[in-house]
Structure 1
C-alpha cells in the first residue's frame, strides 16, 4: 500500500470513530409531556413506601452541557431571578443551598415548575414545552453543585458571592420543611 492509501485509510478510520451529539432542533410540543410520580416525603398510609414512577428522562438532561446552558438562558428569559434572586433567594426560596422544600431530585423540580407551588410559584404547564421544563430543572439543580463540572455552565459572579455552578462543590439535597404534628407517626 502506498502512503496515500494509508493516509486515506487512517482518515476514514478517524472520521468513523467520531460521534456527534444528536439532539432535536425543536423541543417536543407541549402536549407530549412526561408523566412523573414523585413523593415529597416517605410517609404513606400503611406499611409500604410511597409509589414513585420516573420516566428516566433525567439522564438526558442532567449531565448535558447544552441542556444546562439552555436552562440558564431560560432562567434569565423567564425572570426567575425576580423571585429567586440569582439563586440566593428573595421572594422565592434559595436555589444554591442544600435545602429543598419540595424535594431535590430533578423530577421533583420538574414537578414544581410544571405544577407550581402554593404562595407564589406559578404553574408553567401548557406554557412551556416539556424539554424546556427539563432544561430549567437541570439548571436549577446545577446551581447547588449537582452537575458535573465539565457540563455545568459558568454564572456571572457579579450576581452574588456564591461561586459559579462549575466551581461549586456538590451538596446533596436535604428535604426541607417542617412536618406538622398531624403528619408525624404515632408513638
Structure 2
C-alpha cells in the first residue's frame, strides 16, 4: 500500500464516522465536504529536498490580492493540516508563527513559495513534488493575507 493510500483510507474512515454521528442529511453533506482529503498524490518529503531545486527567483504571484485565492489558500492550509505545525490561524506551534513580520527565509511571495515548494531545515516538508504550482501560489496568497484586513476567517480580536 502506498503511503498516501493509507492517509486517504484513514480520511475515509474518519469521514464515515463523522457522517454516522450527524443527525440530518444536510449536516452529512457539509461534514462530507469538510472531511474530504486533499487530492491524493505523494507525500511530502520532510526538510529540504536534495538535488535540483524547484526554486523560483523572479516570479510574481499570479493570485496576489485575489480574495478567492486567499479563501482557497485558507481551505488548503486547513486541508493539508498546516496548523498541525504552525498552530491555529498560523500563530505558531512546533513550527514558527506565520503572523510574524520577520521570517528566517523571507516573507516575500517568492520566499514563501520556495519555503513551501522546497521545504526547510528542521521539519518543513517540501511540497513542490506533491502540489501543483497553482496550489502553492494559493497557499502563498493566504499566508500573505495574514495580519491584513483581507485575511479570510481572521481570528476574533
Whether the TM-score (by the shorter chain) exceeds 0.5 is yes
Q: Give the paired residue count.
A: 103
Larger radius of gyration: 1
Q: How far did residue 156 of structure 1 move?
A: 4.6
Q: CA contact under 8 A between 1:71 and 1:132: conserved in structure 2?
A: yes
Confirm or deny that 1:153 pairs with 2:152: yes
* 1:140 alignment partner, one of 138, 143, 151: 143
Q: Distance in 2 between matches of 1:90 and 1:62?
A: 26
Q: How far did residue 155 of structure 1 move?
A: 2.8
> TM-score scaled by structure 2?
0.61
Pick closer, same or farther for the CA change 1:128–1:78 going to 2, 3 Å: same
SS at match of 1:99: coil
Provide Cα deviations, 1:64-113, integer angstroms capped at 9, x if missing partner. Answer: 01100000000000000100002111110001121211001011000000
Q: What is the aligned partner in structure 1 of residue 38 from structure 2?
A: none
When the two chains are superposed, the root-mean-square deviation of aligned CA atoms in Å is: 1.7
Q: CA contact under 8 A between 2:55 and 2:118: conserved in structure 1?
A: no
Pick closer, same or farther for the CA change 1:95–1:35 going to 2, 3 Å: closer
Q: Which runs of 5 or more residues in structure 1 are unaligned? A: 1-33, 38-53, 158-162, 164-187
Extract structure 1 runs of 4+ deviating beyond 3 A: none
Q: CA contact under 8 A between 1:95 and 1:144: conserved in structure 2?
A: no
Q: Which runs of 5 or more residues in structure 2 are unaligned? A: 1-53
Once the two structures are superposed, the pairs formed by residues 48-59 of structure 1 within 5 Å of their partners are: 54-56=58-60, 58=61
Confirm or deny that 1:83 pairs with 2:85: yes
Kindly indicate whether structure 1 or structure 2 has the higher relative contact order, using CA contacts under 8 Å at least 6 residues apart.
Answer: 2
Q: CA contact under 8 A between 1:68 and 1:135: conserved in structure 2?
A: yes
